[in-house]
A and B are shown apart, each in its own frame.
Chain A
Amino acid sequence: MRTIRLLPASNKTRPGWQQSLLLCALLALAACSGPVQDRTVLNRTLGVEPESLDYHKARTKQAGDVQRDIGEGLTGYSATGELLAAAAESWQLSDDGLRYTFNLRKDARWSNGDVVTAEHFVYSFRRLVDPRTAAFYAQTIIDIENASEIIAGDLPPEELAVTASGEFELTVRLRQPVPYFLALLSHPSTFPVHPSAAEAPGDDYARPGRLISNGAYQLDAWQLGSVIELRRNEFYHANDDTGIDRVRHHITTEAHAELNRYRAGEVDLTSGIPQDALLQMRAERPDEVHVAPYLGVYFYGFNLKREPFKSNLKLRQALSMAIDREDITEKVTGRGETPAYSWVPPGVDRYEPRLFPYAAMSREERHAAARQLYREAGFGEDNPLQLELRYNTSQSHSRVAVAIEDMWREVLGVETSLINEEFRVLLANIKAQEITQVFLSSWLGDYNDAHTFLHLLQTDSPSNLFGYSNDDFDSLMLRSAAQTDPQRRQLYLEEAERVLLDDHPVLPIYFRVSKHLVSPRIEGWGDNVLDYHYSQHLSFSEPD
């Protein structure tokens, strides 16, 4: 019989599995520890990764949040939202409102020690409007003489009416008076860019190790998709006032994951609070929850290029009046938003928003008036309105939509079909203006002035996706732009809003709020309507 080898000849010994397991457990425990409370590093979060830290290549608010830490424009904001002098220490405006002369700080320095001069601003503004830069926010300075021609490629960037009339003196000529121009100069797109950007190969300029900036911090490291690390700019003119040495902006794309990091003590402040966690956080950590009015409006737009909304003002009014905005803000969203009975949010500088005429009505009166208008618009029980409401896929948007659908059905008998679409699909549909009827939209203010909200509905505004066109409104807006007296300008703007509200081209629902969780260790936090929170204003309180 042949011998069958049943077992291998060798008989090696191996470490037992028990020892391996113990080793793993020990290693794991050794690497474990709770987060260390480091008082030299501020850990904060961003909901979206910045597209770029080059001021001319980004446009999200999150990019702006980081850019406001590393750069500084001619003007800036305090922690509580007051406009102040920043890179410029003073300025003069000519009587016709067309020429600004800025006197720059002589002690302003770049992060490599270079002096910040007027030439740097000239270079940067030219780069902003240069078609080759393809900057998103080139229109921030569209009112500077020759800017729009340069953007269109009809003039070279050197023709921009921004000149260095001295080493520290900058002259800007506008094509028309712009009362909010100083506020525009706090926007990151107007921050100065160091001339080394011209020598950087390709698009490499805004990278760690290469990016030279003039703000309170400088870019130290950027782990893509994970965290942006900043460290103090020792050469910054107000460096002594900067409380924290290093800032880490963590990129957290999921709201609950961000909340968990805060609860675990890994981040000191969050960029938002998930809707369903707000009540719990208010109960558990009332002093850490910061909810404040924010310059943004949540609204439904009408497609005014198509019936039934194109020529039926009464129908638009009826739909608006049937909505109980207080119910939406108290019960559906519940974060402290303000019901919107105007277009411009409250809290805007030098402005008193006009209100819809039905803002003061009781609910019953409003519903009765809505029903009356609905009938006059040609609809009723035997001829109900059937409309499509579009919004981008999100739980919070769908909750509001369902609530409003219910209100429209109960009060008026409208049959609404709710259609949720992916964000860019929705945008494409809205822009095409062919199949949309009522759709969700949102607008955030770029600067603290009513103009940023009102100009959206001018006929020539590229973002006027509603097809709204009213000559009276347009001419009032133009006349307001020509005013140098702020009081007269305010009157014109308010009158323009009144015309707008009478026309009811959009359906404002609520005004937004900013929501943050702020660790009790942090001092210097200020709520403001622009939701700008510069890291340089923050510091850690002394431990007890």
Chain B
Amino acid sequence: MLRYASMRVLGAIPTLLLVIVIAFIMVRAAPGGPFDAERVLPPEIERNIAHAYHLDEPLPRQLLRYISGLLDGDLGPSYRYRDYTVSELIGSALPLSFRLGLIAMSLALVLGVGTGLVAALRKNTVLDRLLTGIAMLGISVPIFVIAPLLVLGFAVYLNWLPAGWSSSSGISRYLLPVFALALPQIAFIARITRGEMIGVMASDFVRTGRAQGLGTWSIVRYHALKPALLPLLSYMGPAMVGILTGSVVVEQIFGIPGLGQLFVRAALNRDYTVVLGSVILYAVLIILFNLLVDILYGLLDPRIRRR
């Protein structure tokens, strides 16, 4: 197991390096630079700034400088926020995004699996159709429609919850963003669970269990749940990475200083180092989570272990 994991991690290093080089070139290929503005700087000042940030060096030298910095653990200074390094910017956004993502995903799992189970067990009844319909809404209505409606309802009119992240410091400011983040996931997870559950409930071993007198709840809990949820694991890998790295829409609407808005703003500001740092973070997370999912699959599914 450990050998498998180490081989996978080592094999991922060339991939990571390729991602870094490609991202480096792409971000500099985008028209415009970090210091462009309508108020054009006089040439001497522009020269001074370019020199301070090594932008006047040839591209391969800048790339080498960046990579050797990486090996020292230095992601570089931000080109836009001149008092802060990339590590500090990402370091201040990451815990918050992770926290929100974990809570949202936990909520999504609980509600999604629950809804999917009920829909599967009450297949083709009114309840099933209702739950499936709500799931469809959750997938199709965009978050930038739902989230502002939530804010209008709960914050502006009812005044129960804060409209903005920085306006309070308690748990209440988590509620709306977590729900907004979780909603599309609940919908997807519910659909996947329902589909898998229906398939499992129709299989032979379940029929055997029923024939031997087991009630539905026992069958679900001790025999059907695990095989039905295992495919959910493959969905969860990339979904976790997505939700942990934040949704720029949710962050903008609630004013949350998370990774999503950091990345998008850095791209728009041509803040090369922050963009690269974010790309590296995403790549590492994807590699890690894919590895985690594969290992978990191996641990949880005896059929794979036996192979």
Q: Which residues of A does B touch, CB under 8 Å? A: 4, 6-8, 27-28, 31-35, 43, 49, 51-54, 57-59, 131-132, 134-136, 138-139, 142, 148, 151-153, 203-207, 223-227, 248, 250-254, 256-257, 260-261, 263-267, 422-425, 427-429, 431, 441-443, 462-463, 465
Given A223-B166, A227-B166, A252-B164, CB of A28 within 8 Å of CB of B172:
yes
Of A8, A49, A151, A264, which one neighbours B45 at CB under 8 angstroms?
A151
Contacts A57-B82, A260-B156; A253 near B255 (Cβ below 8 A): yes
Write out the residue numbers on chain A whose beta carbons fall within 8 Å of the beta carbon of B146. none
Which residues of chain B are within 8 angstroms of A223 by Cβ–Cβ distance?
Answer: 92, 166, 257
Chain B positions within 8 Å of A428 at CB level: 31-33, 36
Write out the residue numbers on chain B whose beta carbons fall within 8 Å of the beta carbon of A58: 82
- When distances are taken between beta carbons in the complex, the residues of chain B under 8 Å from A248 are 166
Asked if B209 contacts A132 (CB within 8 A), the reply is no
Name the B residues within 8 Å of A443 (CB-CB).
Answer: 38
CB neighbours of A256 from chain B (8 A): 148
Tell me the bound Cα distance from A142 to B262 in angstroms: 35
Tally the A-B contacts, defined by beta carbons under 8 Å.
Answer: 189
Contact: A463 with B265, CB < 8 Å? no
What residues of A have a CB within 8 angstroms of the CB of B163 in the complex?
A: 257, 260-261, 263-264, 266
Measured between beta carbons, the chain B residues less than 8 angstroms from A264 are 155-156, 159, 162-163, 167
User: Judging by beta carbons under 8 Å apart, are B48 and A6 in contact?
Assistant: no
Give the contact-size bracket for chain B: 35 or more
Chain A residues near B151 (CB-CB < 8 A):
257, 260
Q: Can you list 22 pairs linking A and B with CB atoms under 8 Å apart?
A: A6-B209, A32-B172, A35-B159, A43-B167, A52-B82, A52-B83, A134-B53, A135-B45, A148-B44, A204-B83, A224-B89, A225-B93, A226-B165, A253-B261, A256-B148, A257-B252, A257-B254, A264-B159, A424-B31, A428-B33, A442-B38, A443-B38
Asked if B41 is at the interface of the complex by the 8 Å CB criterion, the answer is yes
- B159-179 residues with Cβ-Cβ distance < 8 A to A are 159-168, 170-172, 175
Closest 9 CB pairs of A and B: A225-B257, A424-B32, A266-B167, A227-B166, A428-B31, A31-B171, A134-B52, A31-B172, A34-B159
A423 to B43, CA, bound (A): 21
- Assess the A431–B40 pair: CB atoms within 8 A: yes
Known: A252-B255, A462-B43. A35 touches B166 (CB 8 A): no
B4 at the interface (CB under 8 A from A): no
A-side interface mostly: loop
B45 adjacent to A31 (CB under 8 Å): no
C-alpha gap A340/B239 in the complex (Å): 52
Instruction: Please give, as numbers and ranges, the residues of chain A lying within 8 Å of B258 by CB-CB distance.
Output: 225
The answer, yes or no, to whether B123 is at the interface (CB within 8 Å) is no
Residues of A within 8 A of B159 (CB): 34-35, 264-265
A32-B160, A224-B88, A427-B36 given; 18 more Cβ-contact pairs under 8 Å: A34-B160, A134-B49, A151-B48, A153-B48, A225-B92, A225-B93, A225-B257, A225-B261, A225-B262, A226-B256, A227-B166, A251-B166, A260-B164, A261-B163, A261-B167, A266-B167, A427-B37, A428-B33
Within the assembled complex, what's the spacing in Å between the Cα atoms of A248 and B38? 29
Task: Decide: B222 and A28 in contact? CB cutoff 8 A.
Answer: no
Interface residues in B37-61 (C-beta closer than 8 Å to A): 37-45, 48-49, 51-53
Which of A134, A265, A429 touches B51 (beta carbons < 8 Å)? Answer: A134
Question: What B residues does A27 contact at CB under 8 A?
Answer: 171
Q: Is the CB of B83 within 8 A of A59?
A: no
Which residue on B lies nearest to A211, using beta carbons?
A: B83
Q: How far is the CA of A28 from the CA of B209 in the complex (A)?
A: 42
Query: Which residues of B lie under 8 Å from residue A33 when comparing CB positions?
Result: 172
Closest to B43 in A: A462
A35 touches B42 (CB 8 A): no
* Candidate in A4, A8, A267, A424 with the most chain B CB atoms within 10 angstroms: A424
Tell me, yes or no, whether B235 is within 8 Å of chain A by CB: no
Report B-chain residues with C-beta under 8 Å of the C-beta of A260. Answer: 148, 151-152, 155-156, 163-164
Chain A residues with CB under 8 A of B171: 27-28, 31
Per the bound structure, the CA–CA distance linking A225 and B51 in Å amounts to 28
Q: Which residues of B contact A465 (CB under 8 A)?
A: 40
Identity of the chain A residue whose Cβ is nearest the Cβ of B155 in the assembled complex: A264
Within 8 A of A (CB), among B128-169: 148, 151-152, 155-156, 159-168
B39-A59 in contact (CB<8A): yes
Q: Which of B83, B152, B168 contacts A57 (CB under 8 A)?
A: B83
Residues 68-84 of chain B, each 1 if its beta carbon lies under 8 Å from chain A, else 0: 00000000010011111
- By a CB distance below 8 angstroms, the chain B residues around A254 are 252-253, 255
A226-B257 in contact given A8-B222, A134-B48 (Cβ < 8 Å): yes
- In the assembled complex, the Cα of A151 lies from the Cα of B42 at a distance in Å of 10
The answer to the question of B125 belonging to the interface, with a C-beta cut-off of 8 Å to chain A, is no
Cβ–Cβ contact A35 & B167, under 8 A: yes
A422 to B30, alpha carbons, bound, how many Å?
A: 11
Which B-chain residue is minimally distant from A252 (CB atoms)? B255
